[in-house]
Amino acid sequence: MAGACVLCVLFPEQWPAMSQPPSAFSTVGLISRRDSPEILDSVVAVHDCLVRHGRGVVVEDVTARTLPGFRGEEASRVELGERCDLLVVVGGDGSLLGVARDLAHYGVPVLGVNRGGLGFLADIPPDQIDVRLPAVLDGAYTSEDHFLLDARVLHDGVETGRSPALNDVVVHLGTMTRMMEFSLWVDGQYVYDQRSDGLIVASPTGSTAYSLSAGGPIMHPALDAIVIVPMFPHTLTSRPLVVRGQSEISIVLDEAGTSDGHVSCDSQVDFPLRAGAEVRIRKYGTPLRLIYPVDHSFYESCRSKLDWASRLGGMPRAGRPDQADGSGA
């Protein structure tokens, strides 16, 4: 049966002719988590569903190489951003982070099929591809704009590295179990000097990622704000700081520091830092537009992913307030 399913993706010309698609998503790019052949069944399911519904499908060249004998249309990731009306990413949130950094500036909407862990960003489960994906193609979806951060690394005033980040920018010492010293500035105003394991600067999207594990607040993705979270600060009074989304944040390493540091964007792109280096962070120019099924809810995601729905005794609460029966139970 698995072989027959692959034949569908290898020979799309065997599908029956379809009418022109009714929505704006006429050309769809397909990207999967790299080096993960175990999710091939979901990649095939998405491809076959798109073809059945009359869409032109362009598969990322790296993904196409995971499909034995693939003879369909393929293109580089950059070309997908230039040509497609919609991108479907099969993988986890990590796969979506990479797509966001690479392609957000093209403004192409992105839909995620979750084959990873929590799946805050990739919302469609693999067993619902044939139900959820056609509905999106027919126009039954919601969209959210998630802004990215733009991190620049400067040594002696010269830029030595730059990358966007959808979740967070983290300044740290890498594997060394010792503290680093730095100063924090926001919009040119001095905030504090700190000795800690590092600093997390997160977008609302990233507030449910590394920032959350460090004690940061959960922020609704529609907020225009940035959170700054210290990592194990050597003080009893240091707390996360939320600033406006238009702020420019500057982190300057102590020039007398004896250890070099690192700055990490989404835990996927890393730049070295020397003593006296500066990291400047501000909002990226173009947001990532995420597509969700119409019943998507950020709060439901928090309940299911963060186990908010649990109660002592295992009894769920009643429905919405307007559905309460007034019993007080």
| Per-domain residue ranges of the chain | 20-146, 149-283
Report the chain's C-alpha Rg in angstroms: 22
Q: Which pLDDT does position 321 carry in this prediction?
A: 63
Q: Could you check whether 20-146 and 149-283 share the same CATH topology?
A: no
Q: Which pLDDT does position 327 carry in this prediction?
A: 44
Task: Classify 306 in phi/psi space as left (phi over 0), alpha (psi -120 to 50) or beta.
Answer: alpha
224 catalytic, yes or no? no
Q: At what angle are helices 40-52 and 129-137 packed, to 10 degrees? A: 40
Q: Which pLDDT does position 99 carry in this prediction?
A: 97
Do residues 9 and 44 make contact, with C-beta atoms less than 8 angstroms apart?
yes
Contacts of 227 (CB under 8 A, 6+ apart): 200, 201, 202, 204, 207, 211, 216, 217, 219, 240, 241, 242, 243
Burial level of 106, CB count in 10 A (0-12/13-18/19+)?
middle
Given the residues 93, 123, 168, 197, the one annotated as active site: 93
Rounded to whole angstroms, how far apart are CA atoms 122 and 95? 9
Do residues 99 and 116 make contact, with C-beta atoms less than 8 angstroms apart?
no
Q: Which CATH architecture has domain 149-283?
A: Sandwich (2.60)
Burial level of 260, CB count in 10 A (0-12/13-18/19+)?
middle
CATH number of the domain at 20-146, please?
3.40.50.10330
Q: What is the mean pLDDT of each run of 10 residues along the chain (329 residues)?
A: 39 38 80 82 94 96 88 96 97 94 97 85 93 96 97 97 98 82 97 96 97 96 97 92 98 83 96 96 98 94 82 58 50
Do residues 121 and 87 make contact, with C-beta atoms less than 8 angstroms apart?
no
Buried b (16+ CB within 10 A) or exposed e, 303-322: eeeeeeeeeeeeeeeeeeee
Q: Which pLDDT does position 313 carry in this prediction?
A: 56
Q: Which pLDDT does position 114 carry in this prediction?
A: 93
Contacts of 310 (CB under 8 A, 6+ apart): none
